[in-house]
A and B are shown apart, each in its own frame.
Chain A
Amino acid sequence: MLLYVVRRLLYAVPIALGVTLVVFSLVHIAPGDPISALLPNEATEEMLQQARKEFGLDRPLPVQYAIWLGHAAVGNLGVSIGSGRPVADEVAAAVVNTVILAVSAGLLSCLLGFVLGMVAGLRRDGLIDHLVNLFTISGVSLPHYWLAILLVIVFSVNLSWLPPLGVGPDTSDGWRPDWAHLRHLILPTLATAAIPMAVIARTMRAGVVDVLDQDFIGTLRAKGLPPRRILWHVVRNALPTTLAVMGLQLGNMLGGSVLVETVFAWPGTGFLLASAIFQRDLPLLQGTMLVLAMFFVFLNLIVDLVQSATDPRIRRS
């Protein structure tokens, strides 16, 4: 087990380095000149050169990459061209908002997905199974921004129950765990949780159905174990796959959804990424992408380790 952990950790290093290279190249290959977007149209060639020099964009690419990597390694992601604030601060604030949304939607989708999937699997082809099936098929097929807009129309516009935009009543301050802020969290949570919940439920159901068909269920019955003890075996067997899917779904949510965050004006990483792109804010874009990519490398590592800890079959291979 320890060997597996060490090996898996070592694998993560070249992956992480590769990711930085890809992030850097993507931003620099992308067409358009960030400086000309920043400066007024009538800016002279001289002013452009001056600005490029200020942001270090006049150096050869490998040098730029090395400098950027060195700074990133100590947490310095540069300064946002748009706001003039450090990219690290901007990203940190956005990450907090996205994490709040992801945790809330993650809890909802994991709990509900797990329970619905389990019940559907146990009552295979029963009424509950068909209902859950219908529910989860709609869950995975509806575009989540469409659902987000629908939620806003129904609950904010028509019913006026819940606020449609922002993290709280006052946009300038951050999120706080009180009812005024929780109200703002409800609709984004529902919109974010729908697809992951459906995916988790379907995975869990498939796992339960698969386990129930296995020979060892007969052995457990023949041993005289009561149904709840057999259920424990079923859950333990279906869990590794479901956990992996939960991890990946949670990861996706932690990455932030550009569309859902934009619909609800939720100032998370997705929202930040979108504004960085529209404003051609190169350092901000690079910094946000780097943080997100590193996060996914880390997440995959965690998922692999957790899965191998819960499933003895993986460790051997």
Chain B
Amino acid sequence: MNVQMTIPEAGPRVATAPLLDIAGLRVAYRGLAGWTQVVRGVDLSLAPGRTLVLLGESGSGKSVTLRAIPGLLREEGARVEGHVRVGGQDVTTLPPAELLKLRGGRVGFIFQEPMTALDPVFRIGDQIAETIVQHRGVSWRAAMATARELFDLVQIPSAERRLKAYPNELSGGLRQRAMIAMAMSCEPELLLADEPTTALDATVQIQVLLLLREIQRERGTAMVFVTHDLGVAAEIADEVAVMYAGRIVERGGAEQVLLYPRHPYTRALTNCVVQGSYRDQRLGELSGAPPDVSRLPPGCSFAPRCPARAEDCLRHEPDFRSLAPGHDAACLHPSGPSADPSSRPGVPAGSPKGH
């Protein structure tokens, strides 16, 4: 590890206190046969204004981790251990009244399916206004005026009419824009988005994604974004964390993780992707199925499917190892070249420049 390199890299990150800090998060749900541990120790932190993308196969615990951030698992009867801090407040121990202020106030949430995530029997405008009234304590009329401005922000045409519409009267794209308006209505510092574009048509996906990025940059909102889509991840991520079977297996800068993946699982996810052309690439097909989180093998949970499996992989659950500044992987035998911060796609890693 080159000391001279770590200083300029680490400098600005240490200077800002993290907005989001998750430490040792463990989540279990009660099933027919006792508790199932679906998140098994997640550590993450995110500085204000940055975008973190959570990647991983279905069932890896991305949505559960995301729902843990505004404390939504309380109502689900899940068992939560560890700490989740948002702006210094520990969500896991926050009194209910404080938690309600945090949700929708400091933390906005965008769900995957805008049709089912909006109440079908309330007008869109009312659903946005009630959020504003709840957090700001303003009059209904003032909240409606704000909702109207938000519709301009998310570029919904004929705002006046659309505010009075019911969710089923809007197209999928417009519904998701309304959802974004609702999540942004109290100017949160942190936006959580669970596959917000997956349910939309391809062209609409891109528009909504670009809109989301634009608003987020304009307002300096930090964002945790869950997706299956590598193209989407490459488009918006500052940082990427890859989840497997309830744990993060690799995390780092977007370029480091997506272009120079070191964990065999991340490498498998990205292997079908040609450097620099991510668009419309889904996660690569892996052989084998994701493990049943209620019956995990000893050792590394990816070992049974791992092409680079060694004997010790079956014995120890690997800890995080730093591979490069800000780039870690939980793997005993990380493969592939390390990311060289000075290199760019197309420039072979290990070229003379930089070292």
Query: Could you tell me which A residues sit within 8 Å of B by CB distance?
Result: 214-216, 218-226, 229, 233, 236-237, 240, 310-313, 316
State whether A313 and B134 are in contact (beta carbons under 8 Å apart), knowing that A219-B109, A219-B111 are contacts in the complex.
no
* Residue among A218, A219, A313, A316 with most chain B CB within 10 A: A219
- Measured CB to CB, the closest approach of chain A to B70, in angstroms, equals 6
Q: How far is the CA of A313 from the CA of B165 in the complex (A)?
A: 11
25 contacts between A and B (CB under 8 A): A214-B116, A216-B119, A216-B120, A218-B67, A219-B111, A221-B75, A223-B104, A223-B182, A224-B100, A224-B131, A224-B134, A224-B135, A225-B104, A229-B130, A236-B119, A236-B122, A237-B119, A237-B120, A240-B121, A311-B121, A312-B121, A312-B168, A313-B120, A313-B166, A316-B168
When the two chains form the complex, which single residue of B121, B130, B135 contacts A313, counting CB atoms closer than 8 Å?
B121
CA distance A221 to B73 in the complex (A): 11
Whether the Cβ atoms of A219 and B100 lie closer than 8 Å is: no
Whether the pair A223, B103 counts as a contact (CB closer than 8 A) is yes
Question: Are A216 and B168 in touch, CB under 8 angstroms?
Answer: no
The answer to whether B104 touches A215 (Cβ under 8 A) is no
State the CA gap A313–B169 with chains docked (Å): 9
**Closest Cβ neighbor of A225 among chain B residues:** B134
- State how many angstroms separate the Cβ of B200 from the closest Cβ of chain A: 16
Other 17 A-B pairs with CB < 8 A, given A225-B104, A226-B134: A215-B113, A216-B119, A219-B109, A220-B119, A222-B103, A222-B104, A222-B111, A223-B103, A223-B109, A223-B182, A224-B104, A225-B100, A226-B100, A233-B122, A312-B166, A312-B168, A313-B120
Interface majority SS (helix, strand, loop, mixed), chain B: helix
B289 to chain A, nearest CB (A): 26
Q: Quick one: CB contact mask for B245-265 with A, threshold 8 Å, 1 for yes?
A: 000000000000000000000
Indicate the size class of the contact surface on chain B.
20 to 34
Residues of A within 8 A of B72 (CB): 218, 221-222
Are the CB atoms of B116 and A229 closer together than 8 Å? no
For residue B102, CB closer than 8 A to chain A, the reply is yes
- Mask, B99-140, CB within 8 Å of A = 1, is 111111100010101001111111000000011001100000
B86 CB to closest chain A CB, in angstroms?
13
Determine if A224 and B117 form an interchain contact, defined as CB atoms under 8 angstroms apart. Answer: no
Q: What residues of A have a CB within 8 angstroms of the CB of B116 in the complex?
A: 214-216
Within the complex, the shortest CB–CB distance from B155 to chain A, in Å, comes to 21
State the Cβ distance, B136 to closest chain A Cβ, in Å: 11
* B116 to chain A: closest residue by CB: A215
* 1/0 contact string of B127-158 vs chain A (CB within 8 Å): 00011001100000000000000000000000
Q: How far is the CB of B250 from chain A (nearest CB, A)?
A: 28
Contact A223–B134 (Cβ < 8 Å):
yes
Smallest CB separation, B72 vs chain A (Å): 6
Which 3 pairs from chain A and chain B are nearest by CB?
A224-B104, A224-B103, A222-B109
Q: What's the Cα separation between A224 and B101 when bound, in Å?
A: 6
Using CB atoms, name the residue of chain A closest to B123: A312
Q: Check B118 against A225 for contact (C-beta < 8 Å).
A: no
Instruction: Name A238's closest neighbour in chain B (CB-CB).
Output: B121
- The complex places the Cα of A316 from the Cα of B166 at a distance, in Å, of 11
Rounded to whole angstroms, the CA-CA distance of A240 and B119 in the bound complex is 14
Contact B119 A221 (CB under 8 A): no
Closest chain A residue, CB of each to CB of B186: A224
Please tell me if the beta carbons of A215 and B111 are within 8 angstroms of each other in the complex: yes
Taking a contact as CB atoms under 8 Å apart, the answer to whether A219 and B117 are in contact is yes
Within the complex, the shortest CB–CB distance from A182 to chain B, in Å, comes to: 39
Q: Are B103 and A216 in contact (CB under 8 A)?
A: no
Q: How far is the CA of A221 from the CA of B135 in the complex (A)?
A: 13
Residues of B within 8 A of A222 (CB): 70, 72, 103-104, 109, 111
**Interfacial residues of chain B within 62-113, with CB under 8 A of chain A in the complex:** 67, 70, 72, 75, 99-105, 109, 111, 113
CB of A135, distance to nearest CB on chain B (Å): 26
Instruction: For the complex, give the distance between the alpha carbons of A226 and B102 in Å.
Output: 12
In the assembled complex, the CB of B91 is this many whole angstroms from the nearest CB of chain A, namely 12
- Chain A residue with the shortest CB-CB distance to B168: A313
Chain B residues within an 8 Å CB radius of A236: 119, 121-122
B117: chain A residues within 8 A (beta carbon): 215-216, 218-219
- Among the listed B103, B118, B121, B169, which residue makes an inter-chain contact with A221, where contact means beta carbons less than 8 Å apart? B103
Report Cα–Cα, A161/B331, bound state, in Å: 81
Partner of B119, one of A224, A226, A233, A316: A233
Cα(A316)–Cα(B116), bound, Å: 18
Nearest CB of A to B288, in Å: 31
Cα distance, A68 to B101, chains bound together (Å): 69
| Chain B neighbourhood of A233, CB < 8 A | 119, 122
Known: A221-B72, A224-B135. A312 touches B103 (CB 8 A): no
CA distance A312 to B117 in the complex (A): 17
Instruction: For the complex formed, measure the closest distance between the CB of B48 and the CB atoms of chain A, giving whole angstroms.
Output: 20
By a CB distance below 8 angstroms, the chain A residues around B113 are 215
Contact assessment for B118 and A237 in the assembled complex, using a CB-CB cutoff below 8 Å: no
Whether A229 and B134, one on each chain, are in contact in the complex, defined by CB atoms closer than 8 angstroms, is yes
Could you say which residues of chain A place their CB within 8 Å of the CB of B105? 224
CA distance A223 to B75 in the complex (A): 14
